[in-house]
Chain A
Amino acid sequence: MATTIIDDGVSAARVTSAGNRSGPRDEHRAGWLLSLPFLVLYLLFLVGPAVYGIVMSFFNATTVRPGLGKAVGLDNYRSILTSSDFWSSMGHTVWFTTLTTPPLVILALFFALLAERLHRAKALVRFIFFAPFVLPVTSVTLIFLWLYAPEVGLVPHWFEAVGLPPPNLLGETKWAFISVAALTVWWTVGFNFVLFLAGLQEVPRDVYEAAAIDGANPVRTLTGIVLPLLRPTVVLVTMLQILASMQIFNQMYLMTAGGPGTSTRPVMEFIYDTGFSDYRAGYAAAATMVYFALVLVVSLVWFLLRRQSNKEVGA
């Protein structure tokens, strides 16, 4: 979630066709030279460890000892694929993704549409929505731990104020998911909001004018013009959100530590627990690869959807 390159796949093509005139060879060499520092770091710290992880998943590697240990072939994969702990943690990650993605996309779009209509103080509103996203996860969880605290917290107090018995917001599995999801929505909605705002600014003014002249009311303008033109952004935001929610670890680890028991433990924490607390580096590497394969499938779906929506916009 740290860096996101927003590539609509259209602008890049235009740039390359325009800048072809002055010595393509020199430019190629300069390009490679300029990206060399990045490539070295990328190979050293991303590709290297990833390959080592794949190798490790076929060994009984131990976290606290150097070397790979005994080769075990596909044993790690066999036990991961049949481990109920792994699959239930995978289920928790999917459930968290299901809980967070719709509100994070719909609310962000809703707020962006409202903010777009403002004539004054647009920058201030943008700042207000984006501000929580800048907070570090430790601060956010600290704030929400206080809000959710039984007896003294503000949220249980609200329940009492409307005459409902306050639930155990972090101690009960069902509520723990909702509590952490609510925190995540508050914390990260600003990022999607900014993406939608950028998308809305791409919609040409004259389209609105044409619609107004044709006598379309605001609802018709939204459903007939804005949303279809915004489709690439909606697909992009939805897919980025699914990928971000699938990586849930920080908030969950800090708020519930996967508890009660392991009933809210996301798959990333399963990997952390087995790899670091239980020293089972090889086994955790195999779990990571299975998880990676599933995220890859999601990314492929995104890729296909994006290609299709670009084609439609281009036509």
Chain B
Amino acid sequence: MSQRSGGRSPLPSVNRRMVLGAGAGSLATLLAGCGSPVATGLFGAAPPTRTLTYWNLFAGGDGANMQTMEDAYRKAHPDVRLDSTVLSWGTPYYTKLSLATSGGAPPDVAVVHLSRLDTLAKAGLVSSLSPDELANAGLPTDNFTPAALQKATVDGTVRAVPLDTHPFVMFYNVEVCRKAGLLDGSGKLKPINGPQELTAALRAAQRVTGQYGGVVTITNDPSTNWRFFATLYYQLGGTVVADSGTRITLDDDKAVQALTFMQSLTRSGLLPKSVDPGGTTSLFSTGKAGFLFDGEWQIPTYRDTPVRFDVVPVPHVFGPKLVAFADSHSLVIPRNGAMDAERRSIALGFIKSLLDSSMTWAQGGHIPAWLPVRESPEFDKLRPQANYVEAATAARYDPPGWYSGAGSQFENIVGAAVAASQTTSQTPAGAVRAMRSGLQPYVTAIPPVG
């Protein structure tokens, strides 16, 4: 047929075989380059060795800082293609990371909150880092904040490289506190000790602002409620759960004592009874509240507003020594049978590079866990970060447990009970009962890991 028609027409006629042949040929070329994204997508082939995938959960100011740090790595290592993915913060991030890892397709490096590490490690999702391996990569273990390194160690092995410590702290409005006579000669906040002194300071600030002495978010933010409560309750020496979350160890008297003090502040109108995160930002940034209790990661939020503020650790309301509620960001290498030694060393090199950029990371308010930077004169000059550097050594975290950690059910349950007490719709004793009954189903459930 092609011969006969070929005589008449100058164009070669197209038959079925040719089309199929051409199709197969182009498919083969497509798949030939094993690094082609099509082949990777269709058949799950490993990307080229010198590509590094990195997952994190940083948006906003932290996200911008992290990008600067990634760019520094790219500049120093032009031969490695760094493929970075930002996923939405909190539980969705950990769900994706867990499923990708157990499905055999994890990123090479991932960011993990140390409060979440215990569960991930017990589920066998993160690889161990031996002291020798860390030392060879230029990351000797004695170069980290001890409290963070201890939290990064699960069952005797290091599972994560700590990047920072981010404590719950106290912000104060410099102008308001000056007028209230709360500053010393050098313009710094005079030390506050004990419940009476804190209440008095808030009352003095209230007289200046005419509205509130201070503010802490109560509505739609269980984690902040938990952090404020945990700071005071940990100062009293209390614990919430033990044995990987299988036993409630709440000390009712201490919890009621902490909650009663917190409620006395909202009941007397020194703090608002009901305020959501947006309301908190607006009250503190417009000088309608002299003090703010929140995480140091809010520093970039207020830097963009006209308010002049400074940051110090939350005062010793209870107990003899400083205790700060905190969490840490860390870097892990998820378990991956397909990862060879070369790839692993690239991953460790990337982690080292991020730690070397700790000064950039500290701009977001965080205290670097990498001591060569934290103890450098450069960081010492960084304000207000250097004011609360002691909080890193006194850091206390969420208790380990499969339902605990940053943004977890544990924080939701305890935080919701604290919020009910703060709005005065619940007595402190009732809130402690609500904590117990909320935690009960999780404590009695058979843990899925561990």
Give the B-binding residues of A (Cβ under 8 A).
Answer: 60, 62-65, 70, 72, 75, 79, 83, 85, 171, 259-262, 273, 276-281, 283
Q: Which of B9-17, B95-103, B150-158, B208-216 is the contact stretch?
A: B95-103
Number of A-B contacts (CB under 8 A): 58
A60/B101 contact (C-beta < 8 A), A79-B441, A171-B220, A279-B123 known: no
B91 CB-CB contact with A under 8 Å: yes
The reply to whether B95 and A280 form a contact with Cβ atoms under 8 Å apart is no
A281: chain B residues at CB < 8 Å are 448
The reply to whether A279 and B91 form a contact with Cβ atoms under 8 Å apart is no
Name A60's contact: one of B220, B409, B446 (CB within 8 Å): B446
A65: chain B residues at CB < 8 Å are 102, 123-124, 449
B445 CB-CB contact with A under 8 Å: yes
B412 CB-CB contact with A under 8 Å: yes
Apart from the given pairs A276-B98, A279-B448, A280-B448, 20 other A-B contacts in the complex at a CB distance below 8 Å: A60-B448, A62-B123, A63-B102, A64-B98, A64-B99, A64-B102, A64-B123, A79-B444, A83-B441, A85-B441, A259-B220, A261-B222, A276-B99, A277-B95, A278-B448, A279-B98, A279-B123, A280-B445, A283-B445, A283-B448
Complex-state Cα separation, A283 to B402, whole angstroms: 14
The reply to whether B94 and A279 form a contact with Cβ atoms under 8 Å apart is no
B73 CB-CB contact with A under 8 Å: no
Name A63's contact: one of B124, B444, B446, B448 (CB within 8 Å): B448
17 residue pairs A–B, Cβ–Cβ below 8 Å: A60-B448, A62-B448, A62-B449, A63-B99, A63-B102, A64-B124, A64-B125, A65-B102, A65-B124, A261-B412, A277-B91, A277-B94, A277-B95, A279-B98, A279-B449, A280-B448, A283-B448
Complex-state Cα separation, A262 to B222, whole angstroms: 12
The reply to whether B125 and A75 form a contact with Cβ atoms under 8 Å apart is no
A70: chain B residues at CB < 8 Å are 446
Complex-state Cα separation, A261 to B124, whole angstroms: 30
The reply to whether B448 and A79 form a contact with Cβ atoms under 8 Å apart is no
Complex-state Cα separation, A72 to B448, whole angstroms: 12
B123: chain A residues at CB < 8 Å are 62, 64-65, 279
From A62, A259, A262, residue with most partner B Cβ within 10 Å: A62
A60: chain B residues at CB < 8 Å are 446, 448
Complex-state Cα separation, A184 to B447, whole angstroms: 37
B448: chain A residues at CB < 8 Å are 60, 62-63, 278-281, 283
The reply to whether B449 and A64 form a contact with Cβ atoms under 8 Å apart is yes
**Mask of B82-104 contacts with A, CB within 8 angstroms, 1/0:** 00000000011011001101100
> Which 4 pairs from chain A and chain B are nearest by CB?
A64-B102, A279-B448, A277-B95, A62-B448
Give the A-binding residues of B (Cβ under 8 A).
Answer: 91-92, 94-95, 98-99, 101-102, 123-125, 220, 222, 402-403, 409, 412, 416, 441, 444-446, 448-449
A72/B446 contact (C-beta < 8 A), A64-B123, A171-B220 known: yes
B403: chain A residues at CB < 8 Å are 278
B94: chain A residues at CB < 8 Å are 277
The reply to whether A63 and B98 form a contact with Cβ atoms under 8 Å apart is yes
Complex-state Cα separation, A311 to B412, whole angstroms: 54
Name A64's contact: one of B91, B101, B412 (CB within 8 Å): B101
A280: chain B residues at CB < 8 Å are 445, 448
Complex-state Cα separation, A1 to B402, whole angstroms: 35
B444: chain A residues at CB < 8 Å are 79
Determine the main DSSP class of B at the interface with A: helix
Cβ of A56 to closest chain B Cβ, rounded Å: 12
Closest to B445 in A: A79
Complex-state Cα separation, A65 to B91, whole angstroms: 19
B91: chain A residues at CB < 8 Å are 273, 277
Complex-state Cα separation, A171 to B220, whole angstroms: 9
Complex-state Cα separation, A261 to B416, whole angstroms: 9
Name B446's contact: one of A75, A83, A260, A276 (CB within 8 Å): A75
The reply to whether A279 and B402 form a contact with Cβ atoms under 8 Å apart is yes
Closest to B98 in A: A64
Complex-state Cα separation, A17 to B94, whole angstroms: 58
Complex-state Cα separation, A305 to B94, whole angstroms: 45
B98: chain A residues at CB < 8 Å are 63-64, 276, 279
Cβ of A148 to closest chain B Cβ, rounded Å: 16
Complex-state Cα separation, A262 to B408, whole angstroms: 12
Complex-state Cα separation, A247 to B92, whole angstroms: 21
B416: chain A residues at CB < 8 Å are 261
Closest to A83 in B: B441
From B409, B446, B449, residue with most partner A Cβ within 10 Å: B446
B95: chain A residues at CB < 8 Å are 276-277
Closest to B444 in A: A79
Cβ of A200 to closest chain B Cβ, rounded Å: 44
Complex-state Cα separation, A171 to B276, whole angstroms: 11
Complex-state Cα separation, A79 to B446, whole angstroms: 11
Closest to B415 in A: A261
Complex-state Cα separation, A62 to B99, whole angstroms: 12
A260: chain B residues at CB < 8 Å are 220
Complex-state Cα separation, A280 to B402, whole angstroms: 10
Cβ of A145 to closest chain B Cβ, rounded Å: 14
From A63, A65, A278, residue with most partner B Cβ within 10 Å: A278
The reply to whether A278 and B441 form a contact with Cβ atoms under 8 Å apart is no
Cβ of B115 to closest chain A Cβ, rounded Å: 15
Closest to B101 in A: A64
Cβ of A149 to closest chain B Cβ, rounded Å: 13
A64: chain B residues at CB < 8 Å are 98-99, 101-102, 123-125, 449
Closest to A72 in B: B446
Closest to B96 in A: A276
Complex-state Cα separation, A273 to B442, whole angstroms: 14
The reply to whether A278 and B402 form a contact with Cβ atoms under 8 Å apart is yes
B124: chain A residues at CB < 8 Å are 64-65
Closest to B103 in A: A64
A72: chain B residues at CB < 8 Å are 446
Complex-state Cα separation, A281 to B123, whole angstroms: 13
Complex-state Cα separation, A64 to B94, whole angstroms: 12
Complex-state Cα separation, A236 to B111, whole angstroms: 50
A283: chain B residues at CB < 8 Å are 445, 448
B101: chain A residues at CB < 8 Å are 64
A278: chain B residues at CB < 8 Å are 402-403, 409, 448
Complex-state Cα separation, A260 to B221, whole angstroms: 9
Closest to B125 in A: A64
A75: chain B residues at CB < 8 Å are 446
Closest to A273 in B: B91
Cβ of A287 to closest chain B Cβ, rounded Å: 13
Cβ of A88 to closest chain B Cβ, rounded Å: 13
Cβ of B271 to closest chain A Cβ, rounded Å: 21
